[in-house]
Amino acid sequence: MQNKDRLYIGGQWVAPSATGTLNVVSPSTEEVIATIPAATAEDADRAVRAARDAFEAWSSTPAAQRAEFLRKIHEGLKARQDEIARDIATEVGMPLKMATRIQAQMPILSFGLYAKLAAEYAFEEQVGNSLVMREAVGVVAAITPWNYPLHQIAAKVAAALAAGCTVVLKPSEVAPLNAFILAEIIHASGLPAGVFNLITGLGPVVGEALAAHPDVDMVSFTGSTRAGKRVAELGGAAVKRVALELGGKSASVVLDDADLGTAVKATLNSCFLNSGQTCNALTRLLVPRARHGEAATLAAEGAKAFTPGDPLTDAGRIGPLVTSAQRDRVRSYIRKGMEEGAELVAGGVEPPNGLAKGWYVQPTVFGNVKPDMTIAQEEIFGPVLAIIPYDTEADAIRIANGTVYGLAAAVWSGDEGRAQRVAKRLRAGQVDVNGGAFNIQAPFGGFKQSGRGRELGKYGLEEFLEFRSLQLRPVA
């Protein structure tokens, strides 16, 4: 068992101000695997003051030098990739091979991307008689979730450091061990003291203290819409910048000329990835009414391939839910779907066979779901797919856009031009067209209650920059 008893503040591992600790529990064994400090508002203040003290020097550091630190962190993550994957598979429950490919490699790519961008990005440009400058926004509080823990950390921290910001990171207490590895790598890189700080603790204690702190210039938050509203409320009181990456209820729209088998398979892969604990998962499958029965049969058969099992041995294709509360929440939605009259075509509320321990849920598929049903409107954050029949293309677009969310979507058609025309009418931040792949250089973020702001690529870098202009006199 790991015992983490220090916070990383001002370039040093320091004792927290109080003795409280939090347990980290394996979702597959239900055993405590680590303890971490339960930091306080006093610790948050110490970290913010360290970041504030370091800001002027770091923001004035040439971008090429900032890029070199990011390259060192990139190399440090590569060297510890296997350890990171195992820790996250243990903390979160994603099968190990998949955790290696996604949970460990994505942060490596992010730091590599921002090392390159920091070196190449034009932080100044001449516009008429003005010198337009892009400068670091200041001290950033990064508050991150548990589902893709280090990926979400890297998307914020790497971009903020590239921009010249200093950072206080508050990772999820559910899956924090990977953040300690990153802090160790950053310390070994020689990054100046105070530029990066790590504190662990509960959101209502540490997260709120950071969001409300007068010396925090920006809060970058990823998590639930409910928590995001609270962060926005606290940050808005001080008129500070708040970036939010929140929930989703993403639609996969299958048009009448699409290859239904390909579309269903890809939608299941998205919906069940990370046990459904993915904000941009395709959790609604919209199909022509005449093809609903065929789609339901394909989905029910496909769901059988997602066998639950121990993530560390890759015994199954899908792991447990991250906490017992999350498991119970998902099961309650499955019950709700049945109560509201949706057709259960695969899975259900019963635990998977042969798994006496662990917070597992059967991969579940509902058919004949009406657009206004609870399971078609609310984010479940578990392996639950809702198949919704529609009558016309316009009907499909209306249903796809008919939730409070707008994070992601997909469109499938035998006609690429038609698919793109429909995709452009969907109110979502990212739309996959006929299976288009995720692109780390493209902007990630959503419409409506899915949040505001963008991460990844140069767009993520610009979230941490302020624009200002110097009006120059013409040279005689």
DSSP state of 352: P
Distance of alpha carbon 442 from alpha carbon 385, whole angstroms? 27
**Active-site option among 279, 379, 455, 463:** 279
Bridge-based pairing of strands 408-412 and 364-367 is unpaired
Is the Cβ–Cβ distance between 364 and 258 less than 8 Å? no
Distance of CA 390 to the CA centre of its chain: 30
Can 271 be counted among the known catalytic residues?
no
Distance CA 226, CA 408 (A): 19
Q: Is 279 a catalytic residue?
A: yes
The span from the CA of 390 to the CA of 291, in Å, is 10
Q: Which residues pair with 119 in a beta bridge?
A: none
* Alpha helices for 121-243 (secondary structure H): 149-163, 177-189, 208-212, 225-237
How far is the C-alpha of 106 from the C-alpha of 95, rounded, in Å? 16
Identified catalytic residue from 245, 379, 455, 463: 245
CA distances from 473 to 28, 129, 133, 157 (A): 66, 7, 17, 38
Q: Which residue from 194, 212, 213 is spatially nearest to 50, judged by alpha carbons? A: 194
Catalytic site residues?
A: 245, 279
